[in-house]
Chains A and B, each alone.
Chain A
Amino acid sequence: MEETSKRVLARIEEGWKTAPLKVSEGPPGEIECEVPTDGVADFASFVVKALHGRLVSVVGQEEPAPVLRYLFSLPAEQVFVRVAVRLEPGHRRFPSLTPIVHAAHWYERELHDLFGYEPVGHPHLDRLILHSDWPEGTHPFRKSCNLTHPVPRSEAGGEGPALGRDGEFELPFGPIRAGVVESAHFRFLTVGEEILKLEMQLFYKFRGIERLFENQPLVLCPLVAERVSGISSFAHSLAFCQAVERAAGIAVPRPACLLRTIYAELERIYNHLGNLAHLCEATSLRVGEAQCSLLKEYAKQFNAKLSGHRFLRGINAIGGVRRGLTAGQHRELLGAIDYIGRETKVLTDLILSTKSHLDRLVTTGILPEKLAADYGAVGPVARGSGLPWDMRKDHPYAAYGDLTFNVPVYHYGDALARMRVRMDEIPESIQLIREAMDRFELAEGDLVAPLPQIPAGRRAIGWAESPRGGLVVFVETGEGNTLRRCKVRSPSFCNWYLFQATVTQTMMMDWPINERSFGLTHAGCDL
């Protein structure tokens, strides 16, 4: 067992005397503790309070036996702790962790909807993913639910109770909304301009994509990962490949680690430019929107030149990358990031001196630090509220452990803070690319390691810091180089609830600006 894992294990053995634990070793920096069902809330609470763990995902699984795992990140030790609980096949009940670790709230509702596992004591166990026309008692990720046949639509349900009282205006919005945007439903309760309450119904885009990873030749799975959230395709396929590589014990060659870092930062750059454009659109700063979207277009065209795809798809493979860079592409890359860096500086200076634009962002959508921490915020949303959480630093992967970069953090928690985080991250990404390019010139090795025959039952976590925040993948291998289970937790799944929490007692006119400042996706949340 690795040193860091041993240290964490020692602290567990020292601090936890209550219930028996079955500890097993995972890949380096990952340990699994199996606890009895009635002890899970207490042990998880210990991991959070005594070990300073952060909940990063919860995985339900039915095969080979019903089990659920809470995945905790311990950034101080750069270790992951998986807390596993076997469920009785009969009733599948377990004590809810949510009253103690609020960040568990949506995960446990997800387990309830998709598997029928029941978190006893969950304070808000309404349907999350399944809409009201999904029949009771069928759970789409249970093997007993045959998805190849249509599932009838239930008559029960409907619009739900009215939100407010006389004089209060209830506005339903979506799932089809104005403009080219993703589908989601919001229900506002307003008095005049003030939003008293916002209810969200998301998961209109729920495709059950996790099932597509199962029983599929492994070499095809990165393509599925890329399509979970199409504008963070690279980060998703990277986290997925790293999970399988860890499960299989594949060492990714150094040149591939460096290339992966370069492409991941190129993805961050075009996403952040897009976010600046969206914010300008929200405040009707038309020239700002045009110029930022033009620079984003330049970045996407450059992505296509470098990788054959505007969204950097088709590069990650299990074991490394599918293509390298020619000498000509080296030079072009350096030229492109130079240009992007200079033009970004011009645009961000202009944006930061446009008082009418900043005025709409200051104090808009304040997310308090404690709320963000309690509910597991990630990405620029977390870093705009004072939480210095970034998986590139917390659990270095690819080549990040060797490269120098800063993680910008702002404290006010408003839309301006979130914009400034992204503005500051662009030059950091450029710097990362330059440094990685220097090292790539000298790095020796292939671009991809061969894929071995992987034994069934191997479990591992993979992760990456996508432009919207940390994303965490859990895999368990099956027979013949396939997967039994793949759970993807994209950053937007963590952050949408926090967006809802910032909206109460704010102005309707600030809502679209706040939404753009969060910069989340629905595809990544809904899966």
Chain B
Amino acid sequence: MAVWTWKGIKKGVVSTRYPDETLLMPDGYRGKPEIDAERCTPTGCMRCAEACLPRAITWESDRGVLAVDYARCVFCGLCEEVCPDHAIYLTREVELAARTRDDLTVQVRLSSAGPAHDAEDLLETEVAARLETESRRVFGRSLHVRHVDAGSCNGCESELQALNNPYYNLHRLGIFFTPSPRFADLLLVTGPVTRAMEGPLRLAYEAMADPKLVVAAGACACSGGIFPENALTMGGVEKILPVDVYIPGCPPPPVALMQGLLLAIGRAEPRLKRTEINR
């Protein structure tokens, strides 16, 4: 007779205590790219933008701005590889969830020309703070998530499935995957939204009772990622549904997914904000 119980007891408790303890990716992990504007070639050589498949790095020549959009980034590291000045390098930071697409952008002004940026929208900050308190009140202790695969490569699903392994043990946070949108508080979408999944995705959202949240997990869901906006792929979840939290990554590792879900229910803080770097 198999002694599974003994095997389980012998293994002991292996679960992380995240977020009560920090969970770091290993050295050399390909996480968030950082730009050191001082090292960038004065005129801008643009090799990073040319090496960027999902167009996460773009050069706006009329404004003299190198723009980075983490919602598009697939963390491949080619930008770091081709940069002759070591001006762009990947860190191991992966907790990049944000409430708006804007917060996932970095604007590096390489030349002195160009208009000044807009003043911060104070009303938006106030609304965000109230939403956070309300989400925490309603969902903070128990959250039921309905996942919908809207055409992912399956990498995101693998990391989502990992959330219920003993190491991450999502249940200890009071977060559960539920089989029906009727029982769900939060719709977690992966994939760029293929043509064929647009209809089913809308139906799932409409079947959820209010209050409800929508989270886009992975580059494809956040922005379409490597997939263009065309007749076959819709360019990200926000083209179909209102998105409350964006979780960048390709795929976002389990710790990034946990941060994103906790952010959605007011139990975590976003680490990224819209950034302007002037040289």
A residues within 8 Å of B by Cβ?
A: 131, 140, 145, 147-151, 175-176, 178-183, 203-209, 212, 216-217, 219-220, 223-224, 227-231, 233, 274, 285, 287-288, 290-291, 293-294, 296-297, 300-301, 304-305, 308-311, 313-314, 322, 346, 350-351, 353-354, 521-524, 526
- Rounded to whole angstroms, the CA-CA distance of A219 and B76 in the bound complex is 12
Decide if A308 touches B28 in the complex (CB within 8 Å): yes
Task: Please give, as numbers and ranges, the residues of chain B lying within 8 Å of A131 by CB-CB distance.
Answer: 196
Decide if B233 touches A208 in the complex (CB within 8 Å): yes
- Residue in A212, A297, A314 whose CB lies within 8 Å of B167: A297
Decide if B233 touches A207 in the complex (CB within 8 Å): yes
- Rounded to whole angstroms, the CA-CA distance of A176 and B151 in the bound complex is 11
User: How near does chain A come to B10, taking the closest CB pair, in angstroms?
Assistant: 10
Nearest 5 Cβ contacts at the A-B interface: A230-B155, A230-B153, A178-B179, A293-B165, A287-B4
- Residue in A147, A149, A207 whose CB lies within 8 Å of B192: A207
User: How near does chain B come to A206, taking the closest CB pair, in angstroms?
Assistant: 6
Which applies to chain A's interface (DSSP): helix, strand, loop or mixed?
A: loop
B244 within 8 Å of A (CB atoms): no
Decide if A175 touches B200 in the complex (CB within 8 Å): yes
Decide if A203 touches B196 in the complex (CB within 8 Å): yes
User: How near does chain B come to A158, taking the closest CB pair, in angstroms?
Assistant: 13
Task: Please give, as numbers and ranges, the residues of chain A lying within 8 Å of B4 by CB-CB distance.
Answer: 285, 287-288, 350, 354
User: How near does chain B come to A516, taking the closest CB pair, in angstroms?
Assistant: 12
Task: Please give, as numbers and ranges, the residues of chain A lying within 8 Å of B53 by CB-CB distance.
Answer: 216, 220, 223-224
- Rounded to whole angstroms, the CA-CA distance of A349 and B153 in the bound complex is 33
Decide if A204 touches B197 in the complex (CB within 8 Å): yes
- When A205-B194, A205-B196 are in contact, do A294 and B165 touch as well, CB less than 8 Å? yes
Task: Please give, as numbers and ranges, the residues of chain A lying within 8 Å of B251 by CB-CB distance.
Answer: 230, 311
Q: Which of B86-125 contact A (CB under 8 A)?
A: none
- Residue in A216, A314, A322, A523 whose CB lies within 8 Å of B152: A523
Q: Pull 14 A–B residue pairs with CB atoms less than 8 Å apart, ordered by A.
A: A140-B232, A151-B195, A151-B231, A183-B150, A183-B200, A203-B196, A205-B151, A205-B197, A223-B76, A224-B226, A230-B158, A304-B25, A346-B7, A350-B3
Decide if B151 touches A204 in the complex (CB within 8 Å): yes
B2 within 8 Å of A (CB atoms): yes
Closest to A175 in B: B200
Decide if B194 touches A219 in the complex (CB within 8 Å): no
Decide if A205 touches B152 in the complex (CB within 8 Å): yes
Decide if A521 touches B154 in the complex (CB within 8 Å): yes
B43 within 8 Å of A (CB atoms): no
Which applies to chain B's interface (DSSP): helix, strand, loop or mixed?
A: loop
Inter-chain pairs besides A209-B227, A350-B4, 4 sampled, C-beta below 8 Å: A140-B231, A205-B152, A293-B161, A311-B251
User: How near does chain B come to A233, taking the closest CB pair, in angstroms?
Assistant: 7
**Beta-carbon contacts of B2-34 to A below 8 Å, as 1s and 0s?**
111101100100100000000001101110000
- Rounded to whole angstroms, the CA-CA distance of A179 and B164 in the bound complex is 11
- Residue in A183, A223, A309 whose CB lies within 8 Å of B151: A183
Decide if A314 touches B233 in the complex (CB within 8 Å): no
- Residue in B2, B30, B150, B152 whose CB lies within 8 Å of A308: B30
User: How near does chain A come to B159, taking the closest CB pair, in angstroms?
Assistant: 8
- Rounded to whole angstroms, the CA-CA distance of A285 and B8 in the bound complex is 12
B51 within 8 Å of A (CB atoms): yes
- Rounded to whole angstroms, the CA-CA distance of A419 and B190 in the bound complex is 29
Closest to B230 in A: A147
Decide if A300 touches B162 in the complex (CB within 8 Å): yes
**Beta-carbon contacts of B55-81 to A below 8 Å, as 1s and 0s?**
000000000000000000011111001
Decide if A229 touches B8 in the complex (CB within 8 Å): no
Decide if B153 touches A523 in the complex (CB within 8 Å): yes
Task: Please give, as numbers and ranges, the residues of chain B lying within 8 Å of A314 by CB-CB distance.
Answer: 30, 75-77
- Residue in A223, A304, A524 whose CB lies within 8 Å of B226: A223
- When A205-B152, A206-B194, A309-B29 are in contact, do A293 and B7 touch as well, CB less than 8 Å? no
B132 within 8 Å of A (CB atoms): no
- When A220-B51, A290-B166, A311-B155 are in contact, do A176 and B231 touch as well, CB less than 8 Å? no
B204 within 8 Å of A (CB atoms): yes
Task: Please give, as numbers and ranges, the residues of chain B lying within 8 Å of A288 by CB-CB distance.
Answer: 4
- Rounded to whole angstroms, the CA-CA distance of A145 and B195 in the bound complex is 15
